[in-house]
Chain A
Amino acid sequence: MSELLWLIVALPFAGSLVLALAGKSLPRLAAAMIGVGSVTLSAILMLFVCLDFLHANPAGTPVHQMLWQWINVSGFSPAIAFHLDSVSLTFVFVITFIGALIHLYSAAFMWKEDGFARFFSYMNLFIGFMLLLVLADNFLLLYMGWEGVGLCSYLLIGFWYKDPGNGYAARKAFTVTRVGDTAMVIGLFILFTNYHTLNIQDILQAAPHTWAPGSTIAIITAYLLLGGAIGKSAQVPLQTWLPDAMAAPSPVSALIHAATMVTAGVYLIARTHVLFELAPIVQTTVAIIGAVTLIVAGMSALYQHDIKKVLAYSTISQIGYMFVALGVGAWSAALFHFMIHAFFKSLLFLGAGSVIAVLNNEHNMFKMGGLWKKMPVVFWTFLIGACALSALPLITAGFYSKDEIIWQAYASDKGSIVLWLTGLAGAFITALYTFRMVFLTFFGNAKAEPTYRPGVAMTLPLVVLAFLSFAGGFIQLPDNMGHVTLFSQFIQHTLPTTVTTASGHAAEWIAQVIAAIVSIAGLALAYRIYYNKPFPAAEPVRNPIQRFFFQGWDFDLVYDKVIVQPIVFFSRIDKNDIIDQFYTGLASIAGLFNKGLAATQNGKLRWYAMALGIGAVITLTILLYA
C-alpha cells in the first residue's frame, strides 16, 4: 500500500483543481461531495498506508517515494519525493483524519454561504500543501508546502472578502509569517552551501560530522530555521497574526489555526532536531520562547470576550508548551501534545463555531449563556474538550500529554525548575480561562436564543473528536501509571529518546499531584468568579492593565509604531521617485535653454544688429587684451 502514498497527496490537490475550474457550474451537493470526498478518500488511504507501515515494518524503516526530478542545476537537485517515517505519519494521520472530519462539518456550516465551491477548493488545496510539507524529503519541497499552507491560510482568513478587516487580517497573517519564512530561506541557503544538497535526511546524517556542536554556523542556521518556526507557529515575537486570523470561518480556525498549520513549526524543529542539538543555545532559546509564549498568550486569553479569540490565544499558549518540550529535548512529548491538542482544540473550535452560528454570528461570550440545555451535544462535547484543555487529571487526554511536558521540563537533562514552574503557572491560567469560557457560554441566564440546532453533519465530528480527546491519552501513560509507551516507541523510530536526569517514581508522583491540584484550582477559581454570575452583556470599561492584556501585550502597537508606520511613511514620501525628478530636471533645464535660445530668434533686424555689435565688441576686447 505504501506505493500509493502519492495518491494521499494528489487527491486533495485534484479536488481543489476540479472545484476551482468547475466550481461555479457544479451544484452545491456535488461540490460538497468532491470537497469532502477527496479528503475522506485520502484519510482512508492513509489508514491503509498506516496499517501497512506498522505491520510490514515493525522497525519503522522510512518509506521513500520519488515522483519526478524537480530541479537539476549543477548539484542543486531537489526532487518531488516523499519521505514517510513515524513522525511524518503522525502528522499525516492528524491532517487527513481531522481534516476529513472538519471538511464534513464545513459542508453543513458553509452550506448557505456564497462561494461554497471556492471555500472547499481552498480547503482541499490546504490539505494538499500541508501533506506536502510533512512528507517532503527535501527542504525545498518542504518550503513549497510551507508557503502553500500560508497561502491557503491567507485565502481562508480573507474568505469573506467584502469586509476590509478580514482582508487586513489575511494580509497580516501572510506578511508576518513571511518574515519568518525569509529567515528560514536564508537558513536553506546556508545548508545548501555547506552540504551541497537540500535532502533533509542527508543533511541530518552529515551534520554531526561536519559541524562541531556549538559552532557559530550551526547556531546561525538553527536560529534561522527557528525564525521560520516561530512565524508559522505564532510564537513570541511573531504571534500577533493569529488572534486576527480568527476572522476566518470557524472550521478554518479549527483546521488551520489549531490542528495543523500552526504546528508546522513544531514539525520543522522536530524534523531538524539534529541541527538544534548541534546548537544547544538555540535549543534553550526554543524552550524559553515556548515558556514566555505560554504565559503571554495565556494571560491575554483571560481577558478576551470573543470566544474565538480565547481559543486563539489558547492555541498560541499550547504551542508554547510544545516548544518547551522541544527545547528540553522531549521530542515525543511535543508530538504527543501536538496530536492530542489537535483533537481537543479542533473540537473546541468546531463547538464554538456551532454556538456562533446558531446565535446569528455572535462572538461575545458575555452575550451568550445558558446554552447547555438548548444545545446538549455541543455542550457535552465542548465540556470534554475544555476538560482536556485544562488537563483535568486521569480522565482526559490533555492531562497525559501536558503532564508529560511539564514533568520533562523539570526532569530532562535540559530542564530546569524555572521551566517547570512556568509550565505549572500556565496550567493554572489555562484551566482558569477555559472554564471562564465554559461558564460564560453555557451557564448562567440565557441572553440569546439559538436559532436552530446543528445537524448530524456538524455534531458527528464533535462526537468523534470528543471521544479522541478523552481516549487518545491512553496510548501513552506515564511510567508510574501503567507505563504505556505506544506513542513514544513509535516516535523513537525517528527521534531520539529524552534524556532524563531526575528519576524515581516518587518525584514523578509528587509532580503529577501538584499539576493536578493546580489545574483543579484553576477550575475552582473560574467557578467562583464566573459560575452563574450576572455579568452585563456590554463591553466593560477596561483599566490600562486589562487593556494591555486584552490587546495581547500591545505587541501590535509597538510593531505599528516601529515597523508599519515608518514603511508606509517612507513609501509615501517618495511615491514619485526622486531619481525620476533628476531626469525630468535635466529635461526642464534643456527646455529652459531651448526657450532662451528660441527667444533670440525673433526676426527683428534691430535686435540682430545689436547682438552683432555687442558680439563684435566682446570679441575685439578679448583679442586685444588677452
Chain B
Amino acid sequence: MILAWIILLLMGTGFLAWLTSRWSDILPRIISLAGTLLFLGVVLYLWFTHSASAVPSGNAAAGAWIIHYTHSWIPAFGIHIILAADGLSLLMLLLTAFLGVLSVLVSWKEIKTRVGFFHFNLLFILAGITGVFVSLDLFLFYFSWEVMLIPMYFLISIWGYENRTYAAGKFFLFTQASGLLMFLSILGLYFVHGRSTGVYTFDYEALKGTVLSQPTAFLLMLGFAAAFLVKLSTVPFHSWLPDAHTQAPTAGSVLLAGLLLKTGAYGIIRFVLPLFPQASQQFAPAAMILGVISILYGAKLAYAQTDLKRLVAYISVSHMGFILLGIYAFNQIAMQGVIMQMVAHAISTGGLFIIVGALHARIQTREIGQMGGLWTQVPKMGAMGLLFVLASLGLPGLGNFIAEILILTGSFMASKILTIIAAVGFIAATLYSLRIMQKVFYGTVLKKWEITDFGFREMIVMGSLAIVIIWLGLFPNSILNATQQMVQGIVQQVNITVNGPQNANTLQNASR
C-alpha cells in the first residue's frame, strides 16, 4: 500500500503546486520541495528497513518481493494494480527521490514562467517513473510509461531552449513509436497466454511462465526491446537524445539522463530477460555489439561537439552502451555493474548537466568556443566540474569506475573480443572528458565574463552529488548487497532456462 501512497503523494503534490501558483511563485517551489523531500524520506525509510532483510535465502525468483500490493482495477480484462518492490526497485526509487529533490532545487531560479504548471509536470514525471519502477502489471506498466512521457514532452516544449519544439516532437515520436511496439508485444503476450491457459491477465508473475514458440517469443521480445533500446538511446536509435537533452531545461535534462534512460535498462532487466529468457539469449550477440558500437560512436560524437550540453548528452549514449553490453553478458558481475552504472551515471551526468545549466544561466551560451579560462572566476564550479568529468572518464575511487570495471570484467567472460573493443572506450572517454575541462575551465580567457561562483543552494546540490559519487566509488557494497538477491535470481533464470536442458544433454552425452 505504501507504494500506492507515494505515487499518490507525488501526484497530489503536483496538483497542489499547480493550484497554489495562482497566489505566488514561491509556493509551488516550496510545496514541491516538501513533497519530494517527504518522498525521499519515505523511500529512505523503506530502504533502511528493507534492504537489510532483502536477502531471504533460497529461491529468488518467487517471493523475493519486499513489498507487494495488489488491487483490482479492470477485472474484465484481467488488469490489476500490482505494485511491488525488490532491491532493484527500491534502489531506483531512492535514485528517483534523490534526483527529484535536486531537480526542484536546480529549477528554483531557472524557471520563471508558469512555475506552477512546471512543477505539476515535474512531479507527474516523477510519479510516472515511480510507477514504472514498481508496476508488476504490464498494463499498468505501459500506463506509467506513457505518464512519464507526456509531462516530459511539455517540460521540453514549454521551458526548453531555442529549438525546443523540434526537440520535444522528436523525443515524443521516438518514444511513442517504440512504446507502441511494446504495447503490441504486451497484447500479444496477453493473448497467447490467455489462449493457452484460459486466464487472460496482465500479471507479470503469471505471464512469466507463458509457453511460447521460438519465433513468437523472439518477435514479442523485439517489441519490448524496441521500446527499451530507444529509451536507452542505443545507436542507431539514439538521435532523439542529444536534441532532447540539449533543449530541455536543466531539471528536464537531469531527469532524462538520470531516470528516463534508466527505465530502459530497468525494463530489459525486469521484463525482457525474465519473460523471454531464450529469445534474449538469441538476441544477446546483437545487443552486445550494439552496446559496443554505442560506447565508441557515442564517445566519438561527444568528442566532436562544440555545444557543451550536446557533448554531455552524447556521453550518455556512450555510457548507456556499457549498460547494454553488461546486461546481455548474463552473469552476476556484469549485471551488478549495470545496476551500479545506472546509479553512477545518473549522478555524474546529472552533475555535469547542472553545471552546464548553471553556466548557461550566467553567460547565456552553451558554445564551448565562448568559454575558456573560467576557473579563475568560478573555482568552485571548476572543481565540481573536474570531479564529475573524472567520474565520467571512469577514474577509480568514483562510482562510474566500479560500474565499468564490473561490466567489463563480466562481459569479458562472455565475449573477449567485444570487451577489448569496449575497453578502448576508456581512452575515448579520456579524450572527450579532458576536452571539457580544457575548453571550459582551463586555457586562455576567450571572452571576459563577469560571473559569480556557485551559491549556497547550488553548493548543496553539487555537494550532495559529490558525496554520493565518492561514496559509490569507495563503498559500492552498500548498494550491491541490496540488489544481489534480485540479480542472482534473474541471471540464474536466464541461464537455467536456456543452458539447463542443454547442459543436461551434454552431461548425458558425456556419460555415454
Interface size on B, residues (CB 8 A): 57
Would you call A73 and B442 a contact (CB within 8 A)?
no
User: Is there a chain A Cβ closer than 8 Å to B412's Cβ?
Assistant: yes
A69-108 CB mask vs B (1 if < 8 Å, else 0) is 1111111100010000000000000000000000000000
For residues 444 through 495 of chain B, which have their beta carbon under 8 Å from a beta carbon of chain A?
A: 444-445, 474-477, 480-481, 484, 488
* Given A158-B442, A193-B413: A182 in contact with B427 (beta carbons within 8 A): yes
Which of A158, A164, A571, A583 touches B300 (beta carbons < 8 Å)? Answer: A571
Q: Nearest B residue to A190 by beta-carbon distance?
A: B412
Q: Nearest B residue to A140 by beta-carbon distance?
A: B405
Complex interface: stretch among A170-178, A232-240, A410-418, A543-551 = A170-178
Would you call B406 and A182 a contact (CB within 8 A)?
no
Q: Nearest A residue to B481 by beta-carbon distance?
A: A72
Which of A182, A185, A570, A579 touches B236 (beta carbons < 8 Å)? Answer: A579
9 smallest beta-carbon distances between A and B, as pairs? A144-B396, A161-B442, A580-B239, A571-B304, A189-B412, A74-B332, A575-B304, A164-B443, A73-B336
Q: Nearest A residue to B396 by beta-carbon distance?
A: A144
Would you call A161 and B441 a contact (CB within 8 A)?
yes
Interface size on A, residues (CB 8 A): 52
User: Is there a chain A Cβ closer than 8 Å to B424's Cβ?
Assistant: yes
* Residues of chain A contacted by B412 (CB below 8 angstroms): 189-190, 192-193
Which of B303, B375, B480 touches A73 (beta carbons < 8 Å)? Answer: B480
Complex interface: stretch among B62-70, B87-95, B430-438 = B430-438
Alpha-carbon distance between A567 and B435 when the two chains are bound, in angstroms: 14
* Given A167-B438, A171-B438, A178-B426: A571 in contact with B303 (beta carbons within 8 A): yes
Would you call A185 and B408 a contact (CB within 8 A)?
yes
Alpha-carbon distance between A70 and B402 when the two chains are bound, in angstroms: 10
Q: Nearest A residue to B408 by beta-carbon distance?
A: A189
User: Is there a chain A Cβ closer than 8 Å to B397's Cβ?
Assistant: yes
- 4 extra A-B contacts, CB within 8 A, seeds A185-B408, A186-B423: A73-B480, A151-B390, A162-B444, A182-B426
* Given A69-B477, A161-B442, A579-B235: A178 in contact with B406 (beta carbons within 8 A): no
Q: Nearest A residue to B402 by beta-carbon distance?
A: A71
User: Is there a chain A Cβ closer than 8 Å to B379's Cβ?
Assistant: yes
Per DSSP, chain B at the interface is helix
Would you call A143 and B396 a contact (CB within 8 A)?
yes
User: Is there a chain B Cβ closer than 8 Å to A505's Cβ?
Assistant: no
User: Is there a chain B Cβ closer than 8 Å to A507's Cβ?
Assistant: no
Alpha-carbon distance between A345 and B211 when the two chains are bound, in angstroms: 72
Which of A24, A148, A158, A193 touches B379 (beta carbons < 8 Å)? Answer: A24
Alpha-carbon distance between A193 and B411 when the two chains are bound, in angstroms: 11
For residues 150 through 183 of chain A, which have their beta carbon under 8 Å from a beta carbon of chain B?
A: 151, 154, 158, 161-164, 167-168, 170-171, 174-175, 178-179, 181-182
User: Is there a chain A Cβ closer than 8 Å to B187's Cβ?
Assistant: no
* Residues of chain A contacted by B484 (CB below 8 angstroms): 73
A113 to chain B, nearest CB (A): 13
User: Is there a chain A Cβ closer than 8 Å to B238's Cβ?
Assistant: yes
* Residues of chain B contacted by A80 (CB below 8 angstroms): 474
Question: Which residues of A line the B interface, CB within 8 A?
Answer: 20, 24, 68-76, 80, 140, 143-144, 147-148, 151, 154, 158, 161-164, 167-168, 170-171, 174-175, 178-179, 181-182, 185-186, 188-190, 192-193, 567, 570-572, 574-575, 577, 579-580, 582-583
* Residues of chain A contacted by B475 (CB below 8 angstroms): 68
* Given A70-B476, A161-B375: A167 in contact with B442 (beta carbons within 8 A): yes
B76-115 CB mask vs A (1 if < 8 Å, else 0) is 0000000000000000000000000000000000000000
Per DSSP, chain A at the interface is helix
For residues 379 through 407 of chain B, which have their beta carbon under 8 Å from a beta carbon of chain A?
A: 379, 383, 390, 395-397, 401-402, 405-406
Would you call B413 and A175 a contact (CB within 8 A)?
no
A-B pairs with CB below 8 Å: how many? 128
* Residues of chain B contacted by A164 (CB below 8 angstroms): 438, 442-444
* Residues of chain A contacted by B402 (CB below 8 angstroms): 71
Alpha-carbon distance between A186 and B426 when the two chains are bound, in angstroms: 11
* Given A24-B379, A171-B438, A178-B426: A579 in contact with B300 (beta carbons within 8 A): no
A347 to chain B, nearest CB (A): 31
B236 to chain A, nearest CB (A): 5
User: Is there a chain A Cβ closer than 8 Å to B305's Cβ?
Assistant: yes
Q: Nearest A residue to B424 by beta-carbon distance?
A: A182
Would you call A162 and B443 a contact (CB within 8 A)?
yes
Question: Which residues of B line the A interface, CB within 8 A?
Answer: 170, 235-236, 238-239, 242, 300-301, 303-305, 331-333, 336-337, 373, 375-376, 379, 383, 390, 395-397, 401-402, 405-406, 408-409, 412-413, 419-420, 423-424, 426-427, 430-431, 434-435, 438, 441-445, 474-477, 480-481, 484, 488
Would you call A151 and B395 a contact (CB within 8 A)?
yes
Would you call B430 and A175 a contact (CB within 8 A)?
yes
* Residues of chain B contacted by A158 (CB below 8 angstroms): 442
Would you call B423 and A185 a contact (CB within 8 A)?
yes
* Residues of chain A contacted by B480 (CB below 8 angstroms): 71-73
Most buried by B among A144, A158, A170, A175: A144
Alpha-carbon distance between A571 and B441 when the two chains are bound, in angstroms: 22
* Residues of chain A contacted by B333 (CB below 8 angstroms): 73-76
* Residues of chain B contacted by A72 (CB below 8 angstroms): 477, 480-481
* Residues of chain B contacted by A76 (CB below 8 angstroms): 333, 406, 409
Q: Nearest A residue to B406 by beta-carbon distance?
A: A73
Would you call B427 and A178 a contact (CB within 8 A)?
yes
Q: Nearest A residue to B488 by beta-carbon distance?
A: A74
* Given A72-B477, A143-B396, A189-B408: A171 in contact with B379 (beta carbons within 8 A): no
Would you call A577 and B301 a contact (CB within 8 A)?
yes
Which of B236, B413, B431, B443 touches A161 (beta carbons < 8 Å)? Answer: B443
Alpha-carbon distance between A171 and B300 when the two chains are bound, in angstroms: 17
Q: Nearest B residue to A154 by beta-carbon distance?
A: B434
Alpha-carbon distance between A68 and B373 when the two chains are bound, in angstroms: 40
B374 to chain A, nearest CB (A): 10
A123 to chain B, nearest CB (A): 16
* Residues of chain B contacted by A583 (CB below 8 angstroms): 170, 239
* Given A72-B477, A151-B390, A193-B412: A574 in contact with B301 (beta carbons within 8 A): yes
Alpha-carbon distance between A580 and B301 when the two chains are bound, in angstroms: 12
Q: Nearest A residue to B473 by beta-carbon distance?
A: A144
Alpha-carbon distance between A151 and B401 when the two chains are bound, in angstroms: 14
Alpha-carbon distance between A571 and B402 when the two chains are bound, in angstroms: 28
Ordered by A's residue number, 27 sampled pairs between the chains whose C-beta atoms are within 8 Å are: A71-B406, A72-B477, A72-B481, A76-B333, A144-B396, A148-B395, A148-B396, A151-B390, A162-B373, A164-B438, A164-B442, A164-B443, A164-B444, A167-B443, A174-B434, A175-B430, A185-B408, A185-B423, A186-B423, A189-B419, A571-B300, A571-B303, A572-B304, A574-B304, A575-B305, A580-B239, A583-B239
A287 to chain B, nearest CB (A): 27
* Residues of chain A contacted by B441 (CB below 8 angstroms): 161
* Given A175-B434, A193-B413: A20 in contact with B477 (beta carbons within 8 A): no
Q: Nearest B residue to A168 by beta-carbon distance?
A: B438
